[in-house]
Structure 1
Amino acid sequence: MLGAQALASGHGRIVAEYFDVGRSRTVPWARRPQAAALLAAMADPDRDFDAVIVGSSERAFYGNQFAAMAPLFEHHGVEVWVPELGGAIDPQIAGQEELVIVLGILSKREITRARIRVRSAMTVQTRDQGRHLGGRPPYGYRLVDAGPHPNRTLARRGVRIQRLDIDPEYGPIVSWIFTQRLAGHSVARITRALNDAGIVSPSAADPDRNPHPTSRRWILTTVRTILANPRYTGHQVRNRQRTDHDLIDPANTSLGHRDVMRWNAPTDWIISTTPAHTALVSEADFVTVQHTRAARHTAPGRTYTLAGLLRCGICGRRMESHWTHRPAYRCRHGHSSAAPPLPHRTSNAYVREDHVLPHLPALVIRLTGHKANLNASAAPPAPVAAVEYLRAESISMIFDPTAGTLTADTPRGERIAIG
């Protein structure tokens, strides 16, 4: 502000101020609230200013932002004053616009170098020191004081560091979740048990840091997230996620990028070389859980001949075996029994096995007749033999409950109606 006033002294007066506090300089002007308001004011023919004074070029322009906006300033007849020139940028003087562009590139360089230094420092602090670098603690842990900050300057200012410690109320719940998974129980079953027992969920345990959930019940995603978090082994871990910068509109690059969070592969994680806090699960058990799949239990006398061959025509998922007095198959479209069904939810798909089997021999004849030159008098294959052929040829069947149709999806991409 003082720099802008000094620049305007003797030439005019400041009639309005536009400052974006807490906004990254990497964001284009059109997406910064105050900068966007300035652009709108520039377009007003009755505006009460004829120049824009930039207090800090490095904070105002990033990369090639000025090059993209220079035609807009010229179109509205608004001068741009920068402290490096002591006045307005004159496009007729060679090198002045290029100077501001260079300042934007230096601004980008400053951010890039700072990002590299911070990432390198955080990597060393995590890997070699196992230090907690901020953020909310995982469910089952709490933050406790770990002494003065190792940086002497910060320590003299009273800054202290924190570490993770087991929460006496929620820590045993995390251990129980891992124990149940090691016993072969499904995530849905664990979720139901937590809700039935009235166990406090992570969002309910810390509502101030979790204001977004509309429900405070346990859900499948919450349990899966706990089971996949390696920090429960006692090691400090960072870089599990990264921020990618995707173009908002590839056809209009002036809109800039949006930040998108994506998961990194485990090989890219930064893990402390030694334990940093008390573990809630051993490393061996944690690795075992990552490869554990709930066992499928079939009641005696119940067989499902078409298991794995049927897919849902609505959502594309593989239909699950379901017994209702007889073998049948259903699809709940990704929903589980961990939560009650909502009124607007798509109805489950359901088809009986005895409605499908009689049509399979004719299907196999249609699929093999042109290759095997079957004799018209030859007996059609038995349903069980037809099923074996479909499995061997990786042919699945698509059931559409809306239309009530069943089709075969061949490896060649052909769709053949059944029945």
Structure 2
Amino acid sequence: MPTVRTVSLATGRDAGGDTLLAWAERSANHPAAKPRPGGLRFAFYGRVSTEDRQDPESSWARQRDQAGVLVGGHGRIVAEFFDVGQSRVLPWARRPEAAALVAAMADPDRAFDAIVVGEYERAFYGNQFSLMAPLFEHYGVQLWMPEAGGRIDFEAEDHEQLMTSLGVQSKREITRTRIRVTTAMATQAREQGRYLGGRPPYGYQLVDAGPHPNRAHAAWGRRAHRLELDPETAPIVKWIFAQRLAGHSVARIARALNDVEIPCPSAADPERNAHRSGREWTHTTVRSILANPRYTGRQVWNRQPSEHDLLDPANTGLGYRQVQRWNLPDGWVISARPVHPALVSEADFVAVQDIRTPRGNPDPDRCYQLAGLLRCGICRRRMESCWSNNQAAYRCRHGHTSASKTDPDRPKNLYIRENRLLAHLPALYILLVQPDPVHAPPSAQDVIDHLREEKITLTCDPGTRSLRADAQEGVKIAIDRAR
């Protein structure tokens, strides 16, 4: 009769001897680490997003106290990493202190065993926890959070569900706030015509408009503002619109302003335009004034909204970057009535927009085969296409525009006809690629396709009368002087 053996579920041992489980436990290669005297060593991480609307010192104290209470009796905080002025939407790699904490984790001799945060939203957003958890596990660093009541178990299903729900909640909070703010600003601009901040347009100045409409802000001493005419610059704006309506080009208007030495907008208000040179009027400056609908007296908002683009499409974990793009007029928010003095009538403003020079080639029969492929050998600028003597050509004016006077020390304009260049492209291709001689010589179009595919630019050097391929230094071919 066979012997009946019973196994204890508690010890894993049976009456007849050790089981396989007991043997495996005795044979462990890595014995459990002994508790460190004084408990675990914690690195505290915290974050505050804006310095102007939150006090970094009090925010740090609150988060630090919450973290200290959480780890009390389990260890002590030995290192601190606190980001100031960093949004939660930024991944850890793009927050200075968080990135430093990640770098410290990779050090085998780091001074901490675990990380503690005072609040989930201060550390993670959206799916950031799921991206960081494998890194914590890889380096053997524990994570402690108040929402979990202590240590996060990266393999526990309930902890994973908790972190996922907190991430969604954190993202929802930001999304809901953004929607509420943009909706409120649109309503304030449309219904109230309220000035919503930013630099006042050239020709206007900001004046006090009484206490802030929000009672809380008014109690803090904040004041509302409105636009009023600037007696020095407002006549300039009126003159610009009048000149454009009279048929003068943007370049001629800019050149006339520079000739009489009228300060450009950035020079007239340097404190608000510290990022601009303030040297002279340019085409872009005049165009921006002619395209600004606020000169009609109406408040206009959302002309240049903020959008978010992936920082690196190949690595979505790096998050987004904020960019600003010009909005089409159908996306503008226009006040229901005029709210500040007008510098141009609405009819005249619309008429100016209708006489703008259209973009693109006005003559579809004109074709520039080398557009975007040529650089100037003198100033390294990209050469622009032009039509000369009924032929396609390219030129470089070395930064000069018709909005300013010609500098007598500036090099002469570089002109070269397209047919002169096309004739030498096959020979240049042979020097670049060195194809099999049994193959037929390439056509000019084949060479152009190769240059665009390989992103190779050609440099025209009038001094040496040569055409050089920038992909390989020294690969060049002589060309005739084309003037």
> Would you say same fold, with TM above 0.5?
yes
Letter in 1 for 2:169: L
Contact 1:320 1:329 in 2 (8 A): yes
CA deviation profile, 1:202-253 (whole Å, cap 9, x unmatched): 1112222222223521111111111111011111011111222221222211
SS class of match (2:355)? coil
Alignment pair present for 1:268 and 2:331: yes
Which residue, 230, 238, 247 being the options, matches 1:167? Answer: 230
SS class of match (2:163)? helix
Alignment pair present for 1:111 and 2:177: no
Which residue, 242, 251, 255 being the options, matches 2:305? Answer: 242
Contact 1:52 1:81 in 2 (8 A): yes
Contact 1:184 1:293 in 2 (8 A): no
TM-score by length of 2: 0.66
Give the CA RMSD over aligned residues: 3.1
Which residue, 406, 414, 421 being the options, matches 1:348? Answer: 414
How far did 1:157 drift?
A: 3.1
- Tell me the distance in 2 between the aligned counterparts of 1:151 and 1:247: 36
Spell out the pairing of 1:258-337 with structure 2 (5 A cutoff). Answer: 258-293=321-356, 309=366, 311=368, 313-315=370-372, 319-320=386-387, 331-332=394-395, 336-337=401-402
Q: Against the structure 1 CA distance between its residues 54 and 345, is the aligned structure 2 distance closer, same or farther, given a 3 Å change threshold?
A: farther
CA deviation profile, 1:304-363 (whole Å, cap 9, x unmatched): xx99736473548652468xxxx88865459632245798989532559xx9xxxxxxxx
CA deviation profile, 1:52-103 (whole Å, cap 9, x unmatched): 1111101211100000110000001111111111211012332112212211
Contact 1:186 1:293 in 2 (8 A): no
**Paired residue for 2:28?**
none
Identity %: 59
**Paired residue for 1:82?**
145
TM-score by length of 1: 0.75
How far did 1:35 drift?
A: 0.7
Contact 2:297 2:339 in 1 (8 A): yes
Tell me how many residue pairs correspond in the alignment: 346
Q: Against the structure 1 CA distance between its residues 307 and 145, is the aligned structure 2 distance closer, same or farther, given a 3 Å change threshold?
A: same
Contact 1:143 1:164 in 2 (8 A): yes
SS class of match (1:126)? helix
Letter in 1 for 2:347: A
Contact 1:59 1:107 in 2 (8 A): no
Contact 1:310 1:319 in 2 (8 A): no
Contact 2:251 2:403 in 1 (8 A): yes
CA deviation profile, 1:106-160 (whole Å, cap 9, x unmatched): 0100000001110111011000000001111111111001111222333333322
Letter in 2 for 1:274: R
Q: Against the structure 1 CA distance between its residues 404 and 45, is the aligned structure 2 distance closer, same or farther, given a 3 Å change threshold?
A: closer
Letter in 2 for 1:19: F
Letter in 1 for 2:333: I
SS class of match (2:207)? strand
Contact 1:308 1:319 in 2 (8 A): no
SS class of match (2:348)? helix
Contact 1:329 1:350 in 2 (8 A): no
Which residue, 238, 244, 254 being the options, matches 1:191? Answer: 254
CA deviation profile, 1:349-394 (whole Å, cap 9, x unmatched): 2559xx9xxxxxxxxxxxxxxxxxxxxxxxxxxxxxxxxxxxxxxx
Q: Against the structure 1 CA distance between its residues 137 and 309, is the aligned structure 2 distance closer, same or farther, given a 3 Å change threshold?
A: same
SS class of match (2:174)? helix
Q: Which protein has the larger Cα radius of gyration, Structure 1 or Structure 2?
A: 2
**Paired residue for 2:12?**
none
Higher relative contact order (CA 8 A, sep 6+): 1
How far did 1:46 drift?
A: 1.0
Alignment pair present for 1:128 and 2:191: yes
How far did 1:293 drift?
A: 4.5
Unmatched tracts of structure 2, length 5 or more? 1-63, 358-362, 374-383, 421-458, 468-483
SS class of match (2:305)? strand
Q: Against the structure 1 CA distance between its residues 343 and 36, is the aligned structure 2 distance closer, same or farther, given a 3 Å change threshold?
A: farther
How far did 1:199 drift?
A: 0.8
Which residue, 73, 76, 89 being the options, matches 1:26? Answer: 89
Contact 1:315 1:333 in 2 (8 A): no
